[in-house]
Amino acid sequence: MTEKRKFPISHIVSYLLSVGLTILAVFFALGTNLERGTIMTIIGSFAVIQAGMQLFMFMNMTEGRDGWMKVTHTIYAIAMAVIFVIGTYYVMTAGHPIM
């Protein structure tokens, strides 16, 4: 490999965005007087954006001949996690005491 690859600008941008979103999340969580549900939705979306940047920008999930396989399998795993995290939370807190 004689030709040098330039360092991908997208990595630097993703890194700075991640740091920015982290600080913004701290601000929303501790520096505002919004309702808890609103804050959790906002900072939860920040987390999802950051995780997406890690998967697609840093981990290069789509590269290689079987890139689509990685994407399909990972999205499947994330879907399973979302279903049972939200499902468990819903079942265990839906209008009945579990004390």
Partner 1 sequence: MALKDHTNKPLEYQTLQSQMNILGFWIFIGAEIVLFGTLFAIYGVLGNRYAGGPTPQDIFVIRDVVIQTLLLLTSSFTVGIVIWAMRNNNLKTLIFWQIITLLLGIGFLVMEINEFIHYVNAGATLQTSAFLSSMYALLGMHGAHVTLGIGWGTGLIFQLLKRGITRETATKTHIFSLYWHFLDVVWIFVFTFVYLGGLV
Q: Which of 79, 7, 14 is nearest to 53 (CA)?
A: 14
Cβ(62)–Cβ(71) under 8 Å? yes
The Cα–Cα gap between 77 and 83 comes to 10
- Could you list the residues that contact partner 1 (CB under 8 A)? 1, 4-5, 7-8, 11, 15, 18-19, 22-23, 25-26, 29-30, 36, 39-40, 43-44, 46-47, 50-51, 54-55, 58-59, 61, 63-66, 69-70, 73-74, 76-78, 80-82, 84-85, 88-89, 92-93
In the bound complex, what is the minimum distance in angstroms from residue 91's beta carbon to partner 1? 9
In the bound complex, what is the minimum distance in angstroms from residue 53's beta carbon to partner 1? 10
In the bound complex, what is the minimum distance in angstroms from residue 95's beta carbon to partner 1? 14
Residue 60, sorted as left (phi over 0), alpha (psi -120 to 50) or beta, turns out to be left
